[in-house]
Structure 1
Amino acid sequence: VDTSGSMQGKKIEQVKGALKFFLGSLHEGDAFNLVPFSTEARPLFSEPKPVSPETTKQALEMVKNLEAAGGTNIEDAILRGLKMPDDGRMHILLFLTDGLPTVGETDPAAILRRLKEAHKKTTRVFVFGVGTDVNTFLLDRIAEMGRGDRHYVGENEDIEVKVSSLLQRLSRPALSDLKLSIEGARISKLTPSPLPDLFYGATLTVLGLFEGKGPHELVVKGTLLGKEKTWRYKVNLPASPARELSWLAPLWAQRRVAHLLDQIRLFGKSKELVDEVVKLGKKYGIVTPWTSFLVAEEAKRLADGTNLPGLQGYRRRGPVTGNSLLGPSTPAAPTEGKPGAATPGLGKRANGSGPVSGKKAVEDSRKLAKLKANAFSVDDLDDAVGGGLAGVPVRRAGGKVFYLLGDTWVDGDFKKEMKARVRRIKAFSPAYFELLRNHPEAAAWLAAKGKILVVIGETPYLVE
C-alpha cells in the first residue's frame, strides 16, 4: 500500500477503510501481510502470518498509525510483497499506488526484470492505480506478469469502495492454473489468454476457435487446494456455424483484437500482431489503428437520404438524425490506413508509443481491459455512441443504431435514466408477438441474435 506524500488527505483515509475491510474479510486458515511503503517498504511481518486475534490486532494497529509522507519506492514494495512461502497454495498480492517510481530503482524496465526474477508461479498480482499520475505501462505489465488484473480509481472515485469490491471477489479462490482442451480436436486463440483463475461466485466465459467436428470430450483442468483436478464434458462440434449463434464470432473477434492491441501497447508492434489486427478489423468491422472505413462516399449518400447497404461497418462520427441510417446491416469493407487514422479514442494510442501516464493513458488501459473481458454495460453507452470505445461492434437496422455491450445489443437511444423503466420480454413469448403487432417496425430491430435492449416510443424493452 502506497503511503507516500501524495496520498495525504482523503486518499489515505479511504485506504485505511479498505485495509480494515480486508482484515475483516479474512477466513480461518488464511495467511496475510501488510506492506506499507513510501521511501522504503515497511512490512508488518517478515512473511505472511496465519490469521489470529493477535495478528489481526497488530495489523489494525498498523493501519491506525499509517501516515502519508515520503517518496515512492515501487520496486522495494513489490519485492517485499512477493516474499511468499513455497507451500503450493495460491498467493494473492494486491498492489496499490498513486504515483510513479521516484525512489530506489526508477527505470520501469529494470523494475520489471527484478520482479520477473522474484515472481513465483503460485503468486497472482493485482494492481490498483489511483488517479492519473501513474505509469500505466509499468502497472499493466506487473499485472500481466503476475497473471492478475489491473484496476484504476479516478480522482473522484472512492478508493475504499473500489478496493473492497475487488477484495470481496478475491476472498474465495476456487480454481487456479486453468487449462482447456478438446480431445481429438484443436482449439486456438482463446480469450482470455492465459485463462485466469476462477473465484467462487464468478463466471468465466472463454471464446476461441476450434478445428474438428462431431462428438468429442471437452477437458477442463485446474488446481484445487494444491491438487490438480480434471472435469470432462461431452460436446458435439458442428460442421458449420449455427445461425442462432452468429453473434459469437464478432464477440470473439472483439476480445481478440483487444488482446492484440493490449500486447502491442505494452510490448510494441510486430508484423504478426498488426497483420492479425488488420485481418480481424476488416472481417468484423472493428475500428483499429490500422483500419479505417470507407465513410466519405457513404456520408455523401446519407446526406441525400439514400438507403445504403454496408452500414454495419460505418462508425458514427456525430449524432444520427432522422432516418439517415436505413438499410440492411451488411458489414462494409474497411481499408488499411495509417496508425492513428481511425475513430478518435482508444485505438489511436494503441500502437506501442502512446502515453505511459496521465488521463489518456489511464483511460486507454481501462477501456482495453473492459474490451478484453467484454465487461461493457449500458453505462458505457455514451462512450460507444461517441466513438470512444473503438472495437465495440455496431449494428444498424430500421433507422436505429445498436451497440454490443456485454451480451446485449443496446439501442443508441437508450438513456441511463430509463434503467428503472425497462420492461423485460421473453423472445417469442405472447408478449413478444403482441409487441410486434403493435409496432411492426420493431421486426428489423429484433432480428439480431442475443439480447436486445430497444427503445420504442418512450419505453425501453429488454428482449431476451
Structure 2
Amino acid sequence: MYGPKINQARDSLIDILRKLRPIDAFNIVLFDDSLTLFRESFIAATILNVNMAVEYAASKVVARGSTNLLKAINMVDSTSMIDDRGNIVIFLTDGLPSSGATTNPNEIRANIRNANYVTTGSKREYKAVIYSLAFGFDMDFGFLSALSEENGANARRIFEGVSAKNQLVYFYDELSDPYLSRVSFSIFNLDTRTEINKQVKVVTSRSEFPYFFGGSEIVMVGKMNAISTESWGICVNAVSSTGNTIIPIPSSLLDSLPSGISNEGRVDFIERIFAYKQIKYYLIMMDIARDESDAVKFKTLALNMSLEYNFVTPLTSMVVTQRLHDPSAEMDV
C-alpha cells in the first residue's frame, strides 16, 4: 500500500486509537513482506499507552514493501487473546496480497479459517471477529468481504479522495461498545423448557451472532410449522460481563406490530422481511462458497427468491417504463 491509501490507513488507525476506552486492550500489527508488533501482547488503553501508540503509528505506518496478508492474520492469531473480552481485529489494507507462502485469495481464506475457528460441540466460534477496511479503488473487495463474512464480521470500503475520518467515526462507533457475545436465538416451549426447533420444522434467517453492540439491533425472522402449545417463545442465550445470560421472550410479546402496520398486511409484511433476510444470507453464502457448485446453488436460491418477491438485488434489476411524450397533450397557458 502506498500513496494516498497509506496516508488514509495511517489517519484511520490514529482515529481508532484515540477512540479507545480505558477498559479496552489493544495491539498493533504492521505488515508488508515482514511483520512488526507494537507490543508483544495486548496492553490496556491507558492515556499513556494510547499516546505512545499514536506516536508509533504516525512514524511507522509508511509505504515499505509488499503485502503478506496471511502472515499478518496468523500473527494476530498467535498473539494471546483475552478470553473474557470481545476480541475484534480491524484489518486496514487494500486487499492485494503480493508476498508470503501464498498469494491465492482462496488459500489465504482457508488458512485463516483454520487458524481462527474454534469448534465447541456442534457450534463454531471465532477466536476473533475480523473487520476489513479496504482502501482505494483497486482493492480486491470481494476477497476482503468474503474473508470478513466467514469470520463473523464484514468489510467496508474507504475510497481515495473521501474523508476517511468521518467514515471511521461511524464505523468505530458501531463496534466500540460490545454488550453481549455468543448471541443465539432458539424457539422454546416455555412450559417444558424444551427446544421446539428439534420438534417441528423451523427456518430462520440467521440465529447466531458473535456480538451484539450497544446502539445496534439484531433482527431474526423465521417460519415454522403449526405447533400445539400456546406457551412458545424465543429464548436468547448470550454471554455478558456478568456471565451466561438467558432471556426468555413469550410469544405474547411477539404479537405487537410496529405502528402503521395493520393486521391485514401483517403476514405479507413479516414474510417479505423474512425473504429479504434470506436473500441477504444467500448472497453472503454465495460470496464465501468454497467451490463453484455451492456458489451456483446459493446464487440460484437468491435469484429465485428475488424474483418471487420482486426485490432488486445484485442478481436482478429494476426496469422503468416511461410513457412516450405526447405533444398533443400540451396546453397553452
Distance 2:95 2:86 in 1: 28
1:231 to 247, 251, 276: 247
Aligned ranges 1:34-183 → 2 under 5 Å? 34-65=28-59, 66-82=61-77, 83-104=79-100, 105-119=102-116, 121-183=126-188
Gaps of 5+ in 2: 118-125, 190-195, 256-261, 326-333
SS in 1 for 2:53: helix
| Displacement of 1:32 | 0.3
* SS of the residue 1:250 aligns to: helix
- The correspondence of residues 279-294 of structure 1 with structure 2, limited to 5 A, is 279-286=304-311
The 5-angstrom pairing of residues 397-436 of structure 1 reads none
Task: Supply the distance in 1 between the matched residues of 2:242 and 2:176 (Cα, whole angstroms).
Answer: 17
Letter in structure 1 aligned against 2:173: Q
Q: CA deviation at 1:28?
A: 2.0
| 1:435-454 equivalences in 2 (<5 Å) | none
* Structure 1 residue 319: Cα displacement: 5.0
How far apart are the structure 2 equivalents of 1:54 and 1:136? Answer: 35
Gaps of at least 5 residues in structure 1 are 293-314, 324-464
1:247 Cα offset (Å): 1.7
Q: Which whole-Å deviations, capped at 9, do the CAs of 1:296-317 have from their partners, x for residues lacking one?
A: xxxxxxxxxxxxxxxxxxx642
- Compare relative contact order (CA 8 Å, sep 6+) and give the higher one, 1 or 2: 2
In the alignment, is residue 243 of structure 1 matched against residue 238 of structure 2? no
Distance 2:219 2:176 in 1: 20
CA-CA distance at 1:88 after TM superposition? 3.2
RMSD: 2.9
Query: What's 2:283 paired with?
Result: 261
* Mapped partners of 1:35, 1:272: distance in 2: 38
Counterpart position of 1:206: 220
Letter paired with 1:77: A
Contact 1:35–1:77 at 8 Å: present in 2 too? Answer: yes
Contact 2:25 2:42 (8 Å CA) reproduced: yes
Alignment of structure 1 residues 350-389 onto 2, 5 Å:
none
- Determine which of 6, 10, 16 is the counterpart of 1:16: 10
How far did 1:53 drift? 3.6
Paired letter, 2:16: F
For residues 323-361 of structure 1, the C-alpha deviation after alignment (integer angstroms, 9 at most, x for no partner) is 9xxxxxxxxxxxxxxxxxxxxxxxxxxxxxxxxxxxxxx
Query: SS where residue 133 of structure 1 aligns?
Result: coil
Distance 1:123 1:100 in 2: 22
Contact kept? 1:88, 1:226, Cα under 8 Å: no
- Name the SS for the 1:220 alignment partner: strand
- Report deviation, 1:34: 1.1
Structure 1 residues 12-60: Cα deviation after superposition (integer angstroms, max 9, x where no partner): 3333332232222222221101112222221101221112244223212
C-alpha displacement at 1:192, in angstroms? 4.2
The secondary structure found in structure 2 opposite 1:201 is coil
